[in-house]
Structure 1
Amino acid sequence: MATIDGARPSEVAPANPRSRVILASLVGTTIEFYDFYVYATAAVLVFPHLFFPAGNETTALLASFAVFGAAMIARPLGAIFFGHLGDRRGRKVTLVGALLTMGIATFLIGLLPTYATAGWIAPFLLVLLRLAQGFALGGEWSGAALVATENAPPGKRAVFGTFPQLGAPIGFIIANGLFLIIAAMLPSDDPSRPSSAFLDWGWRIPFLFSFVMVAVGLWVRLNLVESSAFEKTVSRGKVQKLPLAAAFKTHWKEIVLGTFYMLATYVLFYLMTTFSLSYGRAATTAPVPGLGYDYTTFVLMMIVGVVFFGVFTLASGPWADRWGRRRTLIWVTLGIAAFGLIWVPMLAGGPVGVMAWLILGFSLMGMTFGPMGALLPELFPANVRYTGSGIAYNVSSILGAAVAPFIAVALWSAGQGSPFWVGIYLSIMAMLTLAALLAGKETKEVDMDA
Structure 2
Amino acid sequence: MSQPPVRSSGKTTSLSRIIMVSSAGSAIEWFDFFIYGTAAALVFNKLFFPASDPLVGTLLAFMTFAIGFVARPVGGIVFGHFGDRVGRKPALVSALFLMGGSTALIGLLPTYDAIGVAAPVLLVVLRLLQGIAVGGQWGGAVLIATENAPRGRRGLYGSFAQLGVPAGLMLSSLVFLVITSTLDDRQFTAWGWRVPFLCSIALIVVALFAQFKLEETEDSRQARQEREASGAAEGSRSPVVEVLRRHPRNVLLAAGAVVVIGAGFYLFVTYMLSYGTTVLGMPKSTLLNAVLVGAALQVPALMGFGALSDRVGRRAVYLVGAAGMGLWAYPAFLLLNTERWPLVTLALVVGQLLFAAMYGPQAAFFSELFSARVRYSGASLGYQLGVMLGGAFTPIIATWLYAKYESFVPVAGFLVAAAAVSCLCVLVLSETYQDEDEDEDDDDNVAAAEDAESGGNVRPLTAR
TM-score under structure 2 length normalisation = 0.89
Measured against aligned partners, the alpha-carbon deviations of 1:385-430 in whole angstroms (never above 9, x if no partner) come to 00011101111122111111111111121231x3211111111100
Distance 2:218 2:49 in 1: 50
CA RMSD between the two structures? 1.8
- The answer (yes or no) to whether the contact 1:411–1:422 under 8 Å persists in 2 is yes
Cα deviation per residue 1:428-450 (whole Å; 9 max; x = unaligned)?
10000010011110011234955
Cα deviation for residue 213 of structure 1 reads 3.5
Q: Distance in 1 between matches of 2:264 and 2:396?
A: 13
Q: What is aligned with 1:225?
A: 215
- Equivalent residues of 1:265, 1:369 under 8 A apart: yes
Of 103, 115, 119, which residue of structure 1 is paired with 2:100?
103
Given residue 408 of structure 2, which amino acid in structure 1 is its aligned partner?
Answer: P
Counterpart CA distance in 2 for 1:185 and 1:383 is: 51
Q: Matched residues in 2 for 1:364 and 1:222: separation?
A: 37
The match for 1:196 is 186
Give 2:364's match in structure 1, choosing from 362, 374, 385.
374
The percent identity for this pair of structures is: 37
Cα distance in 2 for partners of 1:247, 1:292 equals 48
Shift of 1:335: 1.0
Residue of structure 1 in register with 2:36 after alignment? 39
Q: Confirm or deny: 8 A CA contact 2:28 2:200 kept in the other structure.
A: yes
- Equivalents in 1 of 2:331, 2:45: separation in Å? 30
What letter matches 1:52 in structure 2?
F
Matched, 1:252 2:248: yes
Counterpart-to-counterpart distance in 2, 1:240 and 1:415: 55
In the alignment, is the contact (CA less than 8 A) between 1:311 and 1:366 conserved in 2?
no
CA distance in 1, matches of 2:319, 2:178: 39
Opposite residue 242 of structure 2, the aligned amino acid is: A
Distance 1:273 1:348, change over 3 A: closer
Do 1:240 and 1:384's aligned partners in 2 also have CA atoms closer than 8 Å?
no
**Aligned residue in 1 for 2:410:** 421
CA contact (8 A) 1:107 1:210 kept: yes
Rate the CA distance shift 1:341–1:437 in 2: closer, same or farther, 3 A: same
Residue 30 of structure 1 corresponds to which residue in structure 2? 27
1:270 corresponds in structure 2 to 266
- Counterpart of 1:225 in 2: which secondary structure? coil
Q: What SS does the corresponding residue of 1:293 show, helix, strand or coil?
A: coil
For 2:239 and 2:152, locate their aligned partners in 1 and report how far apart those are by CA, in whole Å: 28
Matched, 1:361 2:356: no
Kindly indicate which of the two structures has a greater share of residues assigned to helix.
Answer: 2
How far apart are 1:10 and its partner, in Å? 6.4
1:168-207 matched pairs, under 5 angstroms: 168-187=165-184, 195-207=185-197
Which residue in 2 is equivalent to 1:281?
A: 277
Structure 1 residue 65 corresponds to structure 2 residue 62: yes
| Structure 1: distance between partners of 2:334 and 2:172 | 30
Q: Deviations over 1:122-179 (max 9, x none)?
A: 0000000000000111100011000010000010000001011111111111112112
Alignment deviations for residues 259-294 of structure 1 (CA, whole Å, 9 cap, x no partner): 011111111111111101101112xxxxxxx23211
Matched residue, 2:314: 325
Contact 1:240 1:246 in 2 (8 A): no
Greater mean deviation of Cα atoms: 422-431 or 290-299 = 290-299
CA shift for structure 1 position 71 = 1.0
Q: Which residue of 1 aligns with 2:334?
A: 345
Aligned counterparts of 2:325 and 2:37: Cα–Cα separation in 1: 23
Offset, 1:83:
0.6
Match of 2:399 in 1: 409
Cα distance in 2 for partners of 1:345, 1:52 equals 32
Give the equivalent residue in structure 1 for 2:127.
130
2:93–2:210 CA contact under 8 A, matched in 1: no
> How far off is 1:309 after superposition?
2.1
| Kept in 2: contact 1:412–1:421 (CA 8 A) | yes
Aligned to 1:192: none
* Displacement after TM superposition at 1:347 (Å): 2.8
When structure 1 is superposed on structure 2, of 27-36 and 351-360 the one drifting more is 351-360
In the alignment, which residue of structure 1 is the partner of 2:15? 18
In 2, the alpha carbon distance for the partners of 1:421 and 1:311 equals 32
Q: Give the alignment's TM-score, normalised by structure 1.
A: 0.91
Residue type of the partner of 2:45?
P
Pair 348,186 (structure 1): closer, same or farther in 2 beyond 3 Å:
closer
Q: Does 1:211 align with 2:186?
A: no
Give distance in 2, aligned partners of 1:240 and 1:90.
15
In 1, the alpha carbon distance for the partners of 2:96 and 2:107 equals 17
Structure 2 residue 65 is matched with structure 1 residue 87: no
Contact residue 170 and residue 295 of structure 2 kept, 8 A: yes
2:4 and 2:148 in contact (8 A); partners too: no
1:446 paired with 2:443, answer no
Query: Partner amino acid for 1:260?
Result: G
CA distances 1:294-322 after superposition (whole Å, capped 9, x unpaired): 11222112111212222211111111111
What per-residue deviation string (whole Å, max 9, x for no partner) do you get for residues 81-110 of structure 1? 111110000011111100001111001111
1:388 and 2:378 equivalent? yes
**Is the Cα–Cα contact under 8 Å of residues 98 and 140 in structure 1 kept in the other structure?**
yes
Given that residues 146 and 157 in structure 2 are in contact (C-alpha distance below 8 angstroms), is that contact kept between their aligned partners in structure 1? yes
Gap regions ≥5 residues in structure 2: 442-464
